[in-house]
């Protein structure tokens, strides 16, 4: 009864009027969770969500400020507007979304892409199993790279992070047994830390290596980024000379970063990215870039990414969301997010959808091998140095 009254009060104060039966059916649970748990986080999620059935769109603070400015009102100094803007920014960061979306066509396209991704992964797995049975033992060495195994390990790490538990990376089942035995002898029972066995670097597949690169880069001050491409750059990246989309964009980004940073006497940053193209979307890049301590580095990186993506990107008067640079709060979660449509993307633009500079590849390999050899602990939502 209290929650029902709380819901009605919230609705009257924030929406206006008594909530209808449909409103209670659609919004009672999320609003009740908001009232009962973390109000700021739940409010942020509600703000960036949309409900096409009731024609309720996601809240965009920048668009609101722009509309107000057209009527001679400046909202940027308004405390309430700033509070809503901060909640929206945090909610977008948590779900990995840079701008409001949620039209019914977008939701259908994403659901279709998810179904296609699952089907293609099952197909790829079946082909790998078939190839294992057809090749000799020596020629099957490459198939000891097991992507399904690595994805399961990363999912296990994410699950431990969700309950704020650090994860110790171990090299073998024997090391796992020894670690548990030592823990028992010391009387340290409980979830002080979890333990997972990770493969040798040479047997690790791309998702596991991306996790290593993102984790090592996170300890060096890296940020996540999303980059959208204009039509001219898309045409360039999809060029028909046999060079992959990822390789073409790698060269374009390296050149843009070298030009921007070189102009002020700085070394360009290392980075990696994954190309993503879900159903109904244009190919775009999600990745990680190591932004150094120089106060100019963030702005230089943003400018270089914009030039690499091609300007102008959109002729819309709304805020430019071509380049979105975040804080890389949790590398394993970011890797999971940017690889969610990997097989769908491959079916569209070809097998090579990943690219990285040599610097970040070497950094990831060194971090991974050192953590695995020493049984290092990876902490949730924190950069983990060697």
- 82 assigned to some structural domain: no
Query: DSSP of 123-135, one letter per residue?
Result: HHHHHHHHHHHHS
- 349 assigned to some structural domain: yes
Considering only CA atoms, which of 247, 238, 217, 200 is closest in space to residue 335? 217
pLDDT of residue 55: 47
pLDDT of residue 386: 43
Are 201 and 365 contacting, i.e. CB atoms less than 8 angstroms apart?
yes
pLDDT of residue 256: 96
Residues 259 and 253: their CA atoms lie apart, in Å, by 10
Average pLDDT by consecutive 10-residue portion of the chain (386 residues)?
55 71 69 58 65 56 78 79 80 57 56 70 70 51 71 87 84 69 53 81 93 87 90 87 89 96 94 89 92 91 93 63 84 89 86 93 94 88 50
- 221 assigned to some structural domain: yes
Q: What is the extent of the structural domain holding 213? A: 205-371
Our count of domains for the chain comes to 1
Q: What residues pair up with 309 in beta bridges, in sequence order?
A: none
- 56 assigned to some structural domain: no
- 382 assigned to some structural domain: no
User: Which residues in the chain belong to E strands, given as ranges?
Assistant: 166-170, 193-197, 222-227, 271-276, 284-290, 323-325, 354-356, 377-378
Residue 18 backbone dihedrals phi, psi, to 5 degrees: -70, 140
- 231 assigned to some structural domain: yes
- 322 assigned to some structural domain: yes
User: Which residues in 150-250 belong to E strands, given as ranges?
Assistant: 166-170, 193-197, 222-227
Which CATH number do you get for residue 320? 3.40.1310
Q: Count, in order, helices (H) and strands (E) of the chain.
A: 15, 8
Considering only CA atoms, which of 75, 42, 73 is closest in space to residue 60? 75
Against a cut of 0.75, is the pTM above it? no
Residues 272 and 334: their CA atoms lie apart, in Å, by 12
Residues 116 and 125: their CA atoms lie apart, in Å, by 14
- 63 assigned to some structural domain: no
pLDDT of residue 198: 92
């Amino acid at each position: 009864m209290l929650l029902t009254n709380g819901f009605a009060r919230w609705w009257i104060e924030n929406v206006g009027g008594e909530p209808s039966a449909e409103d209670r059916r659609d919004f009672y649970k999320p609003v009740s969770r908001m009232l009962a748990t973390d109000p700021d986080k739940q409010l942020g999620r509600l703000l960036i969500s949309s409900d096409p059935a009731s024609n309720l769109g996601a809240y965009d603070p920048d668009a609101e400020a722009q509309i107000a400015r057209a009527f001679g009102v400046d909202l940027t100094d308004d405390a309430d507007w700033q509070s809503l803007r901060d909640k929206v920014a945090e909610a977008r960061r948590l779900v990995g979304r840079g701008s409001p979306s949620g039209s019914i066509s977008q939701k259908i396209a994403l659901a279709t892409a998810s179904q296609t991704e699952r089907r293609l992964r099952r197909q790829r797995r079946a082909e790998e199993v078939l190839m294992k049975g057809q090749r000799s033992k020596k020629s099957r060495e490459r198939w000891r790279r097991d992507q399904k195994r690595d994805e399961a390990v990363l999912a296990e790490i994410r699950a431990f992070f969700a309950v704020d538990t650090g994860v110790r990376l171990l090299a073998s089942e024997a090391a796992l047994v020894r670690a548990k035995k030592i823990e028992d002898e010391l009387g340290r029972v409980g979830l002080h830390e979890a333990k997972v066995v990770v493969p040798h670097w040479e047997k690790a597949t791309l998702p596991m290596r991306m996790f290593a690169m993102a984790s090592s880069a996170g300890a060096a001050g890296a940020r996540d980024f999303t980059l959208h491409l204009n039509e001219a750059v898309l045409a360039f990246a999809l060029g028909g000379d046999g060079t992959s989309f990822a390789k073409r964009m790698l060269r374009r980004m390296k050149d843009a970063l070298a030009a921007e940073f070189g102009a002020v006497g700085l070394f360009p940053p290392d980075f990696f990215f994954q190309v993503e193209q879900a159903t109904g979307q244009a190919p775009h890049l999600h990745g990680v870039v190591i932004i150094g301590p120089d106060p100019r580095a963030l702005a230089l990186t943003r400018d270089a990414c914009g030039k690499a993506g091609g300007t102008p990107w959109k002729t819309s008067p709304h805020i430019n969301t071509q380049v979105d640079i975040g804080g890389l709060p949790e590398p394993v979660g970011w890797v999971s997010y940017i690889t969610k449509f990997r097989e769908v993307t491959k079916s569209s633009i070809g097998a090579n959808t990943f690219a990285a500079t040599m610097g970040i590849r070497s950094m990831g390999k060194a971090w991974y091998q050192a953590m695995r050899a020493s049984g290092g602990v990876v902490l949730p939502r924190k950069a983990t140095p060697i």
